[in-house]
Amino acid sequence: MYRLRTVVLIASLGLAASGGQAAAPATRGAVAASQGAAASRAATGTSTKPGAKPMISPEGLVFPAERKPMASGSGHIVTETDYTLKLECDPKTFDHWVINWGDESADVTVKNTVTSLTHKYKAPGYYSIKYRVVVSEQGKTFTFEGPPDSVEVVNATVHTPTPAIQKHEVTAKHVSFTWTASAPKYFVLRDGVLKGVTKETHYEDTDVIPSKTYVYTVQATSENGDSEPSAPLKITVPAK
């Protein structure tokens, strides 16, 4: 009689402590699922802890998707100007970067703390920039290679310099003037009409009429095209 009351009292206290419901023990299936998920994360290197080393597999280094190394830059650049490649990866997760610029230059190896690199392309074209990060463990080297970044390199637009008219002389019989050197050949225009072509940096016009006013300009030309016309030179031929 007393033993039965004791059992009932203990059972009642247990229900009260659990909010009126007895706690159910964890099933074997739930435990196994939890352990399996943890093992899967470890096998694929998907730890999201900052500074966690990537997993090493037969194919190389395995980074979680949100922490994969990235290298990127502008998709368009002019020859002989600095192209900047931005490097993004937690430096605690690897040892160094190796960059291949896609041209004839040698691969560049830099420390894991470097966050950007610059490079000058000498020739126009399309270049595929390859990059990889490296981890050394127990005398062995393991790598992760990201998707290549591409860049289009074009020649700079070069304009032929505009000549500037300098000294001039005028009489009733001729007009002459000089200009700054800027190209291998020049067009001399009078009142907007071509008057002569010369390789020199001076010109004399003997086909003038006294008391008449003329406006001269000089335009340079080269393999880069024609320059803008010079500032005009306005001359009034004196009377005889």
Token reading at 97: 């970067």
Q: How far apart are CA 30 and CA 119, in angstroms?
A: 55
Q: Which of 19-23, 59-63, 165-169 has the lowest mean pLDDT?
A: 19-23
Where among 134, 154, 174 does a domain terminate?
Answer: 154
Average pLDDT value for residue range 171-183: 94
Q: Is residue 90 part of a domain?
A: yes
Query: How much of the chain exceeds pLDDT 90, in percent?
Result: 49
Is 64 in the same domain as 148? yes
What's the token pair of residue 228?
Answer: 């803008």
Residue 219 domain flag: yes
- Give the CA distances from residue 70 to residues 32, 53, 92, 106, in Å, rounded to whole numbers and listed in that order: 36, 16, 15, 20
Calculate the alpha carbon distances from 31 to 27, 43, 46, 112, 116 in Å. 7, 18, 21, 40, 46
The mean pLDDT of 87-100, rounded to a whole number, is 92
Query: Which tops the pLDDT comparison, 182 or 43?
Result: 182
Tokens describing residue 174: 């001729």
Q: Which of 88, 52, 40 is nearest to 68 (CA)?
A: 88
Same domain for 124 and 192, yes or no, is: no
26: tokens are: 């964890």
Domain boundary among the residues 97, 120, 154 is at 154
Instruction: Say if residue 141 is in the same domain as residue 67.
Output: yes
CA of 88: how far to CAs of 58, 77, 84, 169, 176, in Å?
24, 21, 13, 66, 65
The per-residue pLDDT for 88 is: 92
Q: 221 and 144, same structural domain?
A: no
CA 101, 102, 104, 109 torsion-angle sign:
positive
Q: Quick check: is 34 in a domain?
A: no
Residue pair 90/108 in contact by the 8 Å Cβ criterion: no
176 and 133 within one domain: no
**Count of the separate structural domains present in the chain:** 2
Residues 144 and 169 in one domain: no
Residues 146 and 70 in one domain: yes
228 phi, psi to nearest 5 deg:
-75, 150
Give residues with Cβ within 8 angstroms of 169, minimum separation 6.
Answer: 175, 176, 177
Backbone phi and psi for residue 18, each to the nearest 5 degrees, phi listed first: -100, 20
Tokens 């004196």, residue located: 238
- Are 170 and 138 in a shared domain? no
Q: Which two tokens stand for residue 106?
A: 């040698």
- Decide if 185 is inside a domain: yes
Residue 121 lies in a domain: yes
Same-domain status, 177 and 132: no
CATH code, 95? 2.60.40.10
Side-chain half-sphere of 187: how many Cα atoms within 13 Å?
Answer: 17
pLDDT band per the 50, 70, 90 thresholds, residue 127: very high
Q: How many other β-carbons are positioned within 10 Å of the β-carbon of residue 25?
A: 7
**Which domain, by its residues, includes 227?**
165-236
Q: Please determine, for residue 187, whether its predicted confidence score (pLDDT) is greater than 80.
A: yes
Residue 221 is assigned to a structural domain of this protein: yes
The verdict on 143 and 97 lying in the same domain is yes
Mean pLDDT value across residues 114-124: 93
Residue 87 lies in a domain: yes
Confidence (pTM): 0.49
User: Does 82 map to a domain?
Assistant: yes
Say if residue 65 is in the same domain as residue 133.
Answer: yes
- Whether 178 and 209 map to the same domain: the answer is yes
pLDDT band, residue 50 (cuts 50/70/90): low
Domain boundary pick from 95, 129, 154 = 154
Mean pLDDT (the chain, rounded) = 80
